[in-house]
Amino acid sequence: MDGSLRLAELVGRPLLGRHEEAVGRLSDVIVRLRGQEHPLVTGVVGRLGRRREVFLPVTQVARWGTDHVALTSGRMDVRAFDRREGEVLLRADVLGHRLVDVREAEFVRAYDVLLEPVGDGWAVTRVLTRRRRGGPWRRRAGGGREEGWRDWKSVEPLIGHLPTVAGRRVLGRLGRLRPAGLADLLEEANRAESQEILGAVGADPELEADVFEELEPDARARLFRDWPDGQVAAVLGRMGADDAADAIGGLPQERRRPVLDALGAKQRLRVLTLLGFHPSSAGGLMSLDVLTAPADRTAEQALRSVRDAHSLQPEALSSLFVTAEGNRLTGVVPLVALVQAAPSHPLGDLADTDPVRVGPDTDVEDVALLMTDHNLLVVPVVGDADEILGVITVDDVLEVIVPRDWRQRARAPHPSPRPDASRTEPHTPPASP
């Protein structure tokens, strides 16, 4: 058969030898992943009798067809098929399984695969998928399903074959996703899917920490449940202290102390400080990473400090806090004021000397109202002597006051600068009934 082939038309078809003698049936098609390129077909799995499966190299396939697959010879190695590292079985691993749509950061289910000739061989070019309209966020709204063909390059398969997974401990197309998108996938994934996604994400420890910061508490606790204390502590050590404190609070009581003891001394002290405040208070919500400077520091020097503050959240850098002896808060300078000021201008002349501030026991809802009233992106948390303890950013507040089920809501369509040609139906004959 010339042109493209649909996997569903091939599976189960007779395998005929050189003299058209029946030697078995096609059970599966084997491809090898090639990073960002379309996977090449390397062979097929033939079924002899009811159970025995054997390997046939693609070079032994003389012609593909929807009625039968012709072989160059009826001779074959009758040893039982032994899958090798890096091999993907299209029927066993892809058909009926969920893939990751890396553009939409959601799961889709594969219902067919398109094979097309490339050079001297064949490659997987497209996959027929079905997904809920609006994605997993429409679960409670009923949703519906959309079906269409898309380029294989736009999805990431979750193979499940342990040697292949171990050999793919690189991010691949999952590396295009932001931490929040990966967190969304993990929250919907089953156990096997979670393990494979985490295996890929774990190749980048910093990304892994960012993903765990984005996870809902229940999902994070579920994933940590099967991890040893040292592995949990390694991830928490790379997270912000406020997020790490939240994560430890979500662990079973008997695991909290062992995980704390496994943390580095600096992170352990920061986490213990935050755990001393009520979770719904300003102290429990604040981040300990604050950019401060004395009043005699110049705008140029302050901007240099901002550029060097790589470990701080970008949201926390929207303002610089002016402090005096004892880390006492004396003023705040918005970042835009620093950028617009003359380089030699001292911070003391640029600062608002009566900044809005909250105490560590302030209720988080009061913090939200205060930030709304004053249009603040960040608010400092101070102690009894006005010493600055930490800061609360607007995204920290939103995570607390937005309803917990916000992810269930329908999200806006993903903007696209041009029509997505990969979702059009390929010109292939209809599948055989």
- CA 168-174-177 angle, to 5 degrees, is 160
Reported confidence tier of residue 115, pLDDT bands at 50, 70, 90: very high
Mean pLDDT on 418-433:
44
The CATH superfamily label for domain 5-98 reads: PRC-barrel domain (2.30.30.240)
Looking at residue 93, what DSSP letter applies?
A: I
Tokens of residue 159, six digits: 């193979």
Reported confidence tier of residue 411, pLDDT bands at 50, 70, 90: low
Q: Is the torsion defined by CA of 302, 307, 312, 318 positive or negative?
A: positive
User: pLDDT at residue 420 above 60?
Assistant: no
Pairing of strands 106-118, 121-132: antiparallel
User: pLDDT at residue 295 above 50?
Assistant: yes
pTM, full prediction: 0.75
Bridge partners (DSSP) listed for residue 321:
292, 332
At 410 the three-state DSSP class reads coil
Cβ-contact 60, 26 below 8 angstroms: no
- Please tell me the predicted confidence (pLDDT) of residue 169: 46
User: pLDDT at residue 103 above 60?
Assistant: yes
Q: Tens digit of pLDDT for each residue in 252-282?
A: 999 999 999 999 999 999 999 999 999 889 9
Output 277 or 75, whichever has higher pLDDT.
277
Cβ-contact 289, 305 below 8 angstroms: no
Reported confidence tier of residue 131, pLDDT bands at 50, 70, 90: low
Contacts of 278 by beta carbon, 8 Å cutoff, 6+ apart: 284, 361
**CA–CA gap between residue 90 and residue 414 (Å, rounded):** 29
Angle between helices 241-249 and 265-275 in degrees, nearest 10: 70
**CA–CA gap between residue 277 and residue 116 (Å, rounded):** 61
410 burial type by CB count under 10 A (0-12 exposed, 13-18 middle, 19+ buried): middle
How many Cβ atoms are within 10 Å of 42's Cβ, its own excluded? Answer: 19
User: pLDDT at residue 79 above 90?
Assistant: no
Cβ-contact 240, 213 below 8 angstroms: yes
Looking at residue 136, what DSSP letter applies?
A: G
Please report which residue ranges of 215-275 form alpha helices under DSSP H: 217-224, 229-238, 241-249, 253-262, 265-275
Mean pLDDT on 235-251:
93
Mean pLDDT on 65-86:
84
**Long-range pairs, 323-330, Cβ under 8 A, ≥24:** 323/292, 323/293, 323/294, 323/388, 324/294, 324/295, 326/385, 326/387, 327/292, 327/387, 327/388, 328/385, 328/386, 328/387, 328/388, 329/355, 329/357, 329/380, 329/382, 329/386, 329/387, 329/388, 330/295
How many Cβ atoms are within 10 Å of 230's Cβ, its own excluded? Answer: 10
- Please tell me the predicted confidence (pLDDT) of residue 172: 66
Nearest CA to 26 out of 87, 70, 84, 80 is that of: 70
Reported confidence tier of residue 143, pLDDT bands at 50, 70, 90: very low
Break the chain into its structural domains and give their ranges.
5-98, 285-402
**CA–CA gap between residue 311 and residue 296 (Å, rounded):** 24
Output 28 or 412, whichever has higher pLDDT.
28
Cβ-contact 258, 280 below 8 angstroms: no
**CA–CA gap between residue 422 and residue 426 (Å, rounded):** 9
Looking at residue 69, what DSSP letter applies?
A: E
Output 36 or 323, whichever has higher pLDDT.
323
Q: What is the mean pLDDT of the chain?
A: 85
Output 138 or 314, whichever has higher pLDDT.
314
Helix (H) or strand (E) holding 173: none
For the chain, give the number of residues.
433
Q: What is the residue type of 130?
A: R
285-402 is classed CATH 3.10.580.10:
yes
**CA–CA gap between residue 291 and residue 40 (Å, rounded):** 52
Q: Tens digit of pLDDT for each residue in 296-344?
A: 999 999 999 999 998 888 888 999 999 999 999 999 999 999 999 999 9
Q: What is the residue type of 350?
A: L
One DSSP character per residue, 76-92 reads: ---SPP---TTEEEIII
User: pLDDT at residue 132 above 80?
Assistant: no
CA 373, chain centre distance (Å): 35
Q: Tens digit of pLDDT for each residue in 162-210?
A: 445 444 444 567 777 889 999 999 999 998 889 888 888 888 899 999 9
Pairing of strands 106-118, 52-57: unpaired
CA 26, chain centre distance (Å): 36
Place of tokens 């809802």: 365
Mean pLDDT on 149-173:
68
The alpha carbons of the chain give a radius of gyration, in whole angstroms, of: 28
